[in-house]
Amino acid sequence: MAGGTRELTVDLGERSYPIYIGTGLISRTGQYFTEHGFPVKSPILLVTDNSVVDLYAEKVEESLARAGYKVTTAVVPSGETSKSLEMLDELVGAALEAGLDRKSTVIALGGGVVGDLAGFVAASYMRGVRFVQIPTTILAHDSSVGGKVAVNHRLAKNIIGAFHQPDFVLYDIDTLASLSMREVRAGLSEVIKHGLIWNKEFVAWCDTNSEKLLALDPEALGYALYEGCKVKSIVVSRDERENDLRAILNLGHTIGHALEAVAGYGELVHGEAIAIGMVGSARLAAKFGYSGDIAVETERLFRKFGLPVRIPASCPTDEIMNAMLHDKKFAEGNMVFIVPTAIGSVEIRNDVPTEWVTDIVDGLREGNEHP
């Protein structure tokens, strides 16, 4: 399409789909719909949140209208609480009132919350309609690949959901300009994660280009999102339903999720929590006999990107351990960790002694700079 637009295919057989990464893309949303053969007769539901709607919804709506599509916009409150069955109910009501049929499309315009919620609407409305993602955060480069969509339950996050692949993803780098610096850093944490699990050259490239990335240089950012999506796409295409390999994407997430659960609201965002978790996993590698350099390098890299690498003093070790032992990912009661074996490769371990984990959590505590 436009000069400089990168295209990546997520290879999932008949559910394969392209990700377009570039600038100025949302103003061409309608063209993409036309090129993908979406019928103009079937109405579209555009789902977005109240922090994004004023910035980008009009451009998307106008572009779709120019191409002949009828679009209805539904705005949900920003934040995790919108990932609820109540909101699903409301959006299905909006879809019905807008006349969406089985050939219709649900668009997610926003970050991970909007993607997860609108994705589950698309997965379940009439047992599944078309889905298009227009991510507006760096972090969403992760959630836009792989088709995992869900809402939360009072007792657990992401527990009600589906695997529902989008028809395509429109990644407009221009939309990232409205992110706060903290969101940029946290988003890059997931980008770097993809390097750490699969591609050491890309890790080295991120290291060299940290300044450009933090300054949102479009060319550097486009390349980094492309490479990040590519790693995730390779992993997902080999294990769509998360039976085995896909678990490696959880590098840093065992400790990270526990930190998110224990830390007070706003103290740690997802990308920050997993940065600390990745340092923890790298230290675990040393316990398994892999090089101690992995932890040193990992920590240096995250520091360079301005990301936290220590557990806040407000999170007690016993609460963190408790949260980990209740993580739903532990089928049949084993603690599972993704452990780096070198920069750019990992292995899945379910033989991690609890004492090692306690030890590492203690060592990562703020104030324990020299454990």
In the complex, least distance from residue 98 CB atom to its own copies, rounded to whole angstroms = 11
CA distances from 256 to 31, 224, 244 (A): 40, 22, 20
Per-residue contact flags (x/-) with its own copies for residues 155 to 194, judged by CB under 8 A: xx--xxxxx-------------------------------
Q: Catalogue the active-site residues.
A: 127, 148, 190, 232, 242, 246, 250, 253, 257, 270
Under the criterion CB under 8 A, does residue 143 sit at the interface with its own copies? no
Under the criterion CB under 8 A, does residue 68 sit at the interface with its own copies? no
Among 23, 136, 69, 17, CA closest to 1: 23
How far is the C-alpha of 171 from the C-alpha of 133, rounded, in Å? 8
In the complex, least distance from residue 241 CB atom to its own copies, rounded to whole angstroms = 8
In the complex, least distance from residue 317 CB atom to its own copies, rounded to whole angstroms = 25
Among 187, 199, 322, 156, CA closest to 255: 322
Among 254, 301, 276, CA closest to 366: 276
Under the criterion CB under 8 A, does residue 238 sit at the interface with its own copies? no
CA distances from 33 to 19, 294, 329 (A): 13, 45, 37
Under the criterion CB under 8 A, does residue 325 sit at the interface with its own copies? no
Residue 137 labelled as part of a binding site: yes
In the complex, least distance from residue 152 CB atom to its own copies, rounded to whole angstroms = 10
Among 131, 128, 119, CA closest to 158: 119
In the complex, least distance from residue 284 CB atom to its own copies, rounded to whole angstroms = 23
CA distances from 124 to 85, 107, 165 (A): 12, 14, 12
How far, in whole angstroms, is CA 117 from its chain's centroid? 13
Among 137, 105, 139, CA closest to 119: 105
User: Nearer Cβ to its own copies, position 242 or 359?
Assistant: 242
Half-sphere CA count of 63, side-chain side, radius 13 A: 17
Under the criterion CB under 8 A, does residue 216 sit at the interface with its own copies? no
Under the criterion CB under 8 A, does residue 37 sit at the interface with its own copies? no
Q: 82 — phi, psi (to 5°)?
A: -75, -15
Q: Which residues bind its own copies (CB under 8 A)?
A: 39, 41-42, 85-86, 88-89, 92-93, 96-97, 101-103, 123-128, 148, 150, 153-156, 159-163, 241-242, 328, 330-333
Please state the residue numbers annotated as binding site for NAD(+). Answer: 78-83, 112-116, 136-137, 148, 157
Which residues contribute to the annotated binding site? 78-83, 112-116, 136-137, 148, 157, 190, 253, 270
- Binding-site positions for Zn(2+) read 190, 253, 270
